[in-house]
Structures are given as structure tokens and as C-alpha cells.
Structure 1
């Protein structure tokens, strides 16, 4: 499983590298790279249309980059932007805009430009040129969105998050409040975007954690067998050495 997921993630990264190389100039400045990606999203070549887009893999970059319906929805449009931006050596992360009841109402991206996390809205193909904190000021928000036709005023920055824990079954345990107290700023200290937006990376991470757990569990069983059960263990290494010696060594004939 780990080998399969590693190969899957590698192939996705190669695909994204080739895709971003085709639309982003090699020597472009970070701001120009952002605009190049948004220009492709605005005026790119004709894209496939699916009669039933609900069946499309929303977390597969090869799908989100090639279907018009997915590039028009905030979640998958932001995923497409983040994947291309990351392949263009930009530091980016996902930002969820939340309603007062903590449900997601819109998804945007943040790009690190000149040591500031600037908000980019891939759905509307626009760079706000302001941070989320600056956009919390009503005047700044009105100026930034006033030039965007039909931009909903409800997409404000009063409530936001990088990870929406409310979707997890453990939300009843108030996991977010616990993490906020124990590890302040935990959702910004780790780049959760890649784990949430790319299925291949999620599978790779899960496989790596499962492999690590099984390895540690095996060590525990070996220790328990030696220290408490006093049972002889099947030692794979010694058996392989003996098998190799028997296979490659010419037996003596007496």
C-alpha cells in the first residue's frame, strides 16, 4: 500500500509539474506566477463538461484541472489553484470562510507574497492584495470586492479556519477548542491544505502512518515475547541468511 500510494503521489506531482511549466513562465516573479495561473483559469483552452459533475473526483488534480464545472465551484477551483501554485514554488494554503454557526460558506486561498499572506479568490479569478486581517475591516473589504461583479457581501472574513473540524465525527468532543488551548495556532503551524486537497497525498500519509504503527507494534510484540513470554521468535533475517547460504553454497559431498 505504501509503495502504491508513493507511486500515485509521484505521478500526480509529475503531472502538476508539467502542467504548471506549460502555463507559468519559468523566470516569473511570485506575483506574476499567481496572475499566470489565474489567467489560465480565466481564459484557458476549452475544457471538458460532465453531465453529472457530482461523480467527478473533486480531490484529484487531473480531474479538477480539466473540467469546467469544477473550476467554477469554490472548493475545487481553490484546489486547482493551490495545486498549480505549489508546483510553481509558491507558498500557499487553503482558507475557509465560515458563517456564525461555523459552516463553510466560501473557500479561498492565501499566498505568501513579500512576507504577507495575501488572499486570492480562485473562484472569481482575483487577487485581493490584502491579508485576511485587513479584509476584516469593512472599508477594505468593500474596496477589494467592489470591483468584482456579483461578489456576495456575505463572503466576509469575520469567521475563518484552515481546517474544518466540524466535519469530523469527533466534533462533539470540542476537539478544536481543546487543540486551541493545548497548541495555540495549530492550524497555521502545519500546512493542512495539501492533506485536504489532494487524495493521493492523503493516502500516502495514511499509508505511512499505518506502516509506522505496524512497525512499532511489531517491535512491541518482539519485546513482549522476549521479556515476558520467553518464547523463541521467528527471526526472518537469520532464516534469510541460512536460506541464501544453502542456495549459493555448494554442499560438500562425503
Structure 2
């Protein structure tokens, strides 16, 4: 049985506070990882730029400086420092996912019901002219959906964050095509007005699937970044050997 679609203000406040604390904690961890891995590898590599594999660095003169700036080992150093930002971005994205995961665990059913009602209401209010339904995604903004989720999640950044996640994750065009195909198969007129229970059930199911995907933030971006970072560092060490 689905939960009540409205949460008590105190419950929403507690969920928001816990989600915020989770976001801050994992963001700090992500930034620490960025400076430890990205910055550590960069400064270690800098010590190699004056090693035996870089005679131009010890030659002196303006020509040596220019040659050093445009040498392959220096370009590797510039790419290595960019990984600080890459790790920071991955860490913040992971922290956002963990915060949203906590919100979904507490109010997933209520969020799905509210979001489905808001999205379905937009679709039902649109004209059934050819192509009009395909513009629903343009009419559905983060602010509009966030206002619908505010009674469940409270005020603040969390409703907008979750709304942005849902809008970015839901394939509205495919969802509309699936709904229209179902209506055609059932012989339902496309011009009927009012609430459509089938549409609302479909959207709530797809929203629930999107929220379920949020339950386990992927570590794949971090693993890919680590692999690329290791390869780049290995190339740099080979160039300065």
C-alpha cells in the first residue's frame, strides 16, 4: 500500500537535514579524494620533470623555458592537474546521489505520487493537436515540479534537486509514445479530456523506476577516472624516465 502523499513538516525537516548532512559529508570526502589523488599525482610528477629524462629543464635560458612549456611531459602535467577537477566533480555528483537516496528511502512513494500527478496534469492540460504533447518536456520546469514536491520534502534545495533529477532521467517522449500506443490499442479516443488513470499509473511506475535507480549511486565514473588517470601518469613517467 502506498504511503500518504503528504508528510508531516517535522518529518520533512528531518529528512532534509539528514540528506543535507549526507551531501556535505560525501562532498568533503570527494574533495579530499580529489586533492589526495589528483593533487598528489600532480606534485609527484612535478618532481620527475627535473629528473634525468628532462635535460632541457636544466639547460637554462629562454629557449629552454619555451621548449619545456611545449614538451610532451609538460602537457602531461597539465592534463594531470585537470584530474583534480574531475575527481571533485565525480565526488559532488556521488554526494548528490547519496543525499537523494536518503530522501527516496524516506518518502519514495509520496514523491512518486506527487511527481506523477504533476507531470500527468501537465499532459492532460495540453491540447491534443499533432505534436503538442511532444512539447510537454518544454513546459515542465524544475521549479514547477519542485513546487509540487515541496509539501512532501519541505522547502529548500532538495525538492529542486530531486525535480531536476527526475526531469533529466525520465524519457518523456518515449513515455508519451507508450501511453498513446496503449490508448490506441484499447480503442480510447485521443481527444477525451479530464484525468487519465492509465496515464497517471504509467508515469508513477516510470517515476518509481527512476527513483529505484537512485538507490545505488554508480561508482563507474570513479573507476573510469582512476583508470584514465593511471594510464596518463604511466605515460608521463615513461616520458621522464
Q: TM-score, normalised by structure 2?
A: 0.32
* More strand as a share of residues: 1
Q: TM-score, normalised by structure 1?
A: 0.30
Higher relative contact order (CA 8 A, sep 6+): 2
* More helix as a share of residues: 2
